[in-house]
Amino acid sequence: MDRRDFLGVSATAAAGMLVPTTASSAAGAPSARPTAPHLPTIRSGPSSVTRAPVAGMIGAIGAGNPVTAATGARILAKGGNAVDAAIAAAFMAYVVEPGSAGIGGHGRLTVHMAKTGRTVGIDHYIRAPRGATSQAIQAALARSGQDTSRIAHTGHLAVGVIGTVAGVCAAHERFATLPLPVLMEEAIAMAEIGPPIDRDTARAIAGRVDDLAAFPRARDHLLPGGRVPQVASESVRGKDGWERSGPRLDTSDLARTLKRISKEGAAAIYQGSIARAIDAEMRANDGVLSEADLAAYKPSIFDETLWTYRDHSYSTCSDIYGPQFLNVLERFDVGALDPNGVEYRHLVTEALALAFVDVMAHPADPADPGAPREGLASKRYAEVRARLIDMKRAIGSGRYPSGDPWPFETRARRSDIGMSSAPTGLPGTTSINVGDKDGNLVSFITSLGSSFGSLVLVPGTGMYLGNAMQWFDPRPGRANSVAPGRMPPYFAPLMTTYREGRPVGGVAASGGYRIATALFHTFLNCVDHRMGVQAALEHPRIHTQGETLYVDERIDDGVKDRLIALGHTVRAVEPHIALPTAVWRNRDGSWSAASDPIRGGTAAV
């Protein structure tokens, strides 16, 4: 392979494979091709669209970076399916999006295979190591002089059992059609020469400058010469894309690790010398992750529950926040409300807040037999929660009550425990959505937690370890207390949606707790307001966790004033509350891909 074929590729780099579309054509305008009658006619959204979606009959991909997207598109063009494309894109993301994702992180993946009709979830989120008891974590925090009421987002105690490579390789073993070395070829070649430092990577490094002082290995890697690297400049442009000149990140160690993964699969990370290197790094720095934890780790693979919302069904890779929120909204005629109006904004705010406080009060770890998952996802419970919503006034900022889902649970109630919340952390996530010509669909979120995770760089591997342990409460007796094998909270990282049993679209996002906000708004805009996917994704959003209501500054001042009058504590923020990507099926059977204009890339074939 000529490395110029992919070096710094932009969203236009598929060399004739991309088909730019207008918002109306991507939204399902009639064409000469046969139509798919199960898909509704789409109407344009009320907001301006600043990035044109792309559409293709072979497939399309929306991802967090243009190089990532173009890599997946080339796999589709080679005859790979959606899973092949998602895997190739993911490994490229681990090289070109190092602040957002990495092989030392975690994720969730949903696969719909059209031939079998199965929708399978691959949960490779972190689990707490065997040594992660409340007593052990608090003792370690005390020895280091840290606050014993929370786990810091930096350092070795923030590291849980990593799941990225195990999850991706599990998807490959079950659903891919091309060999792993073929899918990883571009990522390895990019890692060997080092990715150009783009704006997002430079920004991620700058955001961790203060933290890096305590981690010399990561500091020397990310701050060569003691400074934040300059952004590489755009250089020669041609039909195959563009290249960048200037600083590159040294990923030579990562290249060697990726080569081992391409040959050995997940065993390269979870067994042998790399696992021993991780164990040694932990032991030397009071961490609790061990070689035994890595050897025992298996992703959770399961047939997805398909929840329902009006005439659609959808899956969320075990998330309960999504069903809670949408079950409440289903009690209202959302489609009749102006998506730019105060009534819609107020209703969404109330539903978001009620669902959020419930999830925080009753963490719904799928592996926890004491979690009231059935009750939380019950439509009868949603009726109870929906009765609290008054369209003339807010329930109250900071006063949203958690509910009692146990009467809607078939199992015995466990004793009440205290509610606790978790810090949101810094952004360290990317997303990938792929649809292919056969109707297969993949939605994928992959993360390090915060930018560059815990800042623990394992010697000789090029691997930054994630920091998702920060989302546990180290104190015992809490709803979110740390314990061996437990999973910290997560919120709707991805959604795949279906109509009449056929996949319609996939949405995923980065942005901490705001991920759910981005997914829900995009979903509602497509399903209830019939927007095209790019318009749905770009439409101004709001976000709340039961306290402050954050509103996109583009929302009309009159709407903000009326929300305040209803009793909401409103704070205007810059656009792009989270950064979603999506693919959506058009009426002619093609796929459209969309991504947030501030970051991300799309490609189609």
Q: Which burial class, exposed, middle or buried, applies to 587 when counting CB atoms under 10 A from its CB (0-12, 13-18, 19+)?
A: buried
Structure confidence at residue 23 (pLDDT): 30
**How far apart, in whole angstroms, are the C-alpha atoms of residue 352 and residue 320?**
12
Q: How much is the pTM?
A: 0.89
- Residues of the chain predicted below pLDDT 50: 1-47, 235-242, 414-426
**How far apart, in whole angstroms, are the C-alpha atoms of residue 71 and residue 56?**
15
% of residues, the chain, pLDDT over 70 = 86
Q: How far is CA 310 from CA 307, 313, 329, 342, in A?
A: 10, 8, 10, 23
497: amino acid identity, one letter: T
**3-state secondary structure at position 324:** helix
CATH superfamily membership of 3-10+20-28+36-301+423-541+577-604: Gamma-glutamyltranspeptidase, small (S) subunit (3.60.20.40)
pLDDT tens-digit readout, 501-521: 888 999 999 888 888 889 999
Q: How far is CA 4 from CA 9, 237, 353, 438, 600, in A?
A: 9, 12, 49, 31, 21
The total of other beta-carbon atoms located within 10 Å of residue 3's CB is 12
**How far apart, in whole angstroms, are the C-alpha atoms of residue 23 and residue 51?**
9
Structure confidence at residue 399 (pLDDT): 83
Chain position carrying tokens 């090029």: 462
Task: Report which secondary-structure segment, H or E, holds 434.
Answer: strand 428-436
Structure confidence at residue 361 (pLDDT): 84
- Supply 313's token pair: 């069904």
Handedness of CA 320, 538, 506, 524 (dihedral sign): positive
**How far apart, in whole angstroms, are the C-alpha atoms of residue 562 and residue 343?**
9
Closest of 251, 296, 250 to residue 275, by C-alpha: 296
Q: Which residue of the set 429, 496, 497, 522 is catalytic?
A: 429
To the query of whether residue 517 is one of the catalytic residues in this protein, the response is: no
**How far apart, in whole angstroms, are the C-alpha atoms of residue 540 and residue 546?**
19
Residue 479 CA from chain centroid, whole number: 24
556: amino acid identity, one letter: D
The total of other beta-carbon atoms located within 10 Å of residue 35's CB is 14
Chain position carrying tokens 């987002």: 153
The total of other beta-carbon atoms located within 10 Å of residue 223's CB is 17
**3-state secondary structure at position 220:** helix
Structure confidence at residue 397 (pLDDT): 65
Say if CB 76 and CB 436 are below 8 A apart: yes
- Supply 294's token pair: 């890595």
- Supply 511's token pair: 């942005």
pLDDT tens-digit readout, 109-125: 999 999 999 999 999 99
**How far apart, in whole angstroms, are the C-alpha atoms of residue 433 and residue 82?**
9
Chain position carrying tokens 């008891």: 133
Domain boundaries, the chain: 3-10+20-28+36-301+423-541+577-604
- Supply 365's token pair: 């770890």
4: amino acid identity, one letter: R
Structure confidence at residue 411 (pLDDT): 64
Alpha-helix residue ranges (DSSP H) falling in 330-378: 342-361, 373-376
Q: How far is CA 520 from CA 516, 528, 536, in A?
A: 6, 11, 10
100: amino acid identity, one letter: S
Say if CB 333 and CB 320 are below 8 A apart: no
Structure confidence at residue 197 (pLDDT): 93
Closest of 117, 174, 114, 175 to residue 439, by C-alpha: 114
Q: Quick one: angle between helices 342-361 and 321-329, nearest 10?
A: 140
Sheet with 591-595: list strands edge to edge. Answer: 54-56, 591-595, 579-585, 502-510, 494-499, 312-315, 307-309
**How far apart, in whole angstroms, are the C-alpha atoms of residue 553 and residue 518?**
16
Number of continuous H segments (helices) and E segments (strands) in the chain: 20, 21
**How far apart, in whole angstroms, are the C-alpha atoms of residue 170 and residue 110?**
12
**How far apart, in whole angstroms, are the C-alpha atoms of residue 403 and residue 192?**
53
The total of other beta-carbon atoms located within 10 Å of residue 227's CB is 9
DSSP letter, residue 416: P
